[in-house]
Structure formats: C-alpha cells, structure tokens
C-alpha cells in the first residue's frame, strides 16, 4: 500500500521552484575525502597491472569516494513558470532508497551470491514501488487539473527532463573572456 501525500500549496502561482542538484564542499567533507583517498590510493596500486588498468582502478575508487562523500543535494530555484508538482516520494520510499544505496555499496565489498541475489531482488522491488507511486501521482495530478491535456504534457516534459529553462554553458580552460585573463581562476 502506497501513501501518496497531497500537493504542496504554492503561495504565488506565478513563481514556483525548480530543483537544482549541487554538491556541497564543506571543510569537514573535504578533509574526509582527502583521508579516504590517502587510505585507498596506494593500496590499490598494483605494479603487475598495466598503466591503464591501474588508472581505471584509481578512477573508479575516486568517483565512488566522491559520490559517497559529496552526494548531489537538491535545491530549489524560483522561476515564473508553473512546474508539475508531483509528490510521489513518500517517507517509505525515502527510507527504502537509503537502504538500497547502502546495499549497493555493501554489494561492492560482499560478493556472496545469496547477498547479491537479495540486493538484486530488493532493487527490482524498489523499482516497481517507485513506478507504481509515479503512476498514482501522475493519475491524481491529471484528474485534479482543469486542462487534462496540458497536465499530461507537463508530466511528459517533466519525466523527460525538459524544464523550459535553457542555459548557455561556457567552458574556457585558458584564455580570455570579456577582456579578462582567466587562465588562473580564483
């Protein structure tokens, strides 16, 4: 049984929030990250392997440590367009998500076939629960809306990741931009 909470009340219908994912680099997390890299860096080096395999081992450990210590956090940014407000993430789904993440990390260490089958079945069940929760929330949103066709397309665009905001990214490693030298950014 899934408990889908109602929609959040928005105070100004013309200004809504857009979710942005960022990493938080606090001093404590940076120190923890450096400590984890120091602890695992030398022990993973194997002189018997070629350079590419050692590099791939280091890179996989680096990325795993980075994602573990600096997870993506979600923040809200105000926009003037009305996004689809779907609250399908319940407390049970949040708890199951955390447990699934813990099992995923444990499965990288514990290679017991029974445990791996348990993790696989847990992930499969979690995926089914999330899918059912999304379907229920989407159906409720469409039923409650006045313009059902527009609501359906809002859901489609939200699921596809189209938020209507187009940003221009500019990456310059060395050189100048707007007359300023940016070869050594501060």
> Count of alpha carbons within 13 Å of 64, Cβ hemisphere only?
17
pLDDT of residue 1: 35
| Mean pLDDT along residues 117-142 | 95
CA distance 76 to 79: 9
CA distance 70 to 91: 23
DSSP 8-class letter at 8: P
pLDDT band, residue 127 (cuts 50/70/90): very high
Give residue for tokens 């009305």: 82
The answer to whether residue 89 scores a pLDDT higher than 60 is: yes
The answer to whether residue 14 scores a pLDDT higher than 70 is: no
What percentage of the chain has pLDDT greater than the value 70?
A: 70
49-79 residue pLDDT tens: 888 888 888 888 888 888 888 888 887 776 5
């Amino acid at each position: 049984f899934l408990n889908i909470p109602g929609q959040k009340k928005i105070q100004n219908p013309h200004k809504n929030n857009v979710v942005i994912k960022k990493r938080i680099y606090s001093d404590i997390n940076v120190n923890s990250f450096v400590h984890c890299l120091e602890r695992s860096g030398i022990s993973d080096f194997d002189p018997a392997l070629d350079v590419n395999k050692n590099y791939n081992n280091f890179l996989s450990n680096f990325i795993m440590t980075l994602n573990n210590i600096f997870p993506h956090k979600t923040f809200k940014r105000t926009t003037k367009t009305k996004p689809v407000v779907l609250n399908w993430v319940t407390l049970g789904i949040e708890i199951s998500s955390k447990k699934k993440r813990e099992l995923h990390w444990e499965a990288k260490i514990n290679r017991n076939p029974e445990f791996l089958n348990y993790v696989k079945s847990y992930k499969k069940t979690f995926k089914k629960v999330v899918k059912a929760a999304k379907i229920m929330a989407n159906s409720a949103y469409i039923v409650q809306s006045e313009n059902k066709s527009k609501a359906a397309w809002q859901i489609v665009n939200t699921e596809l990741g189209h938020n209507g905001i187009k940003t221009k990214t500019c990456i310059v490693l060395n050189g100048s931009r707007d007359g300023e030298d940016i070869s050594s950014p501060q």
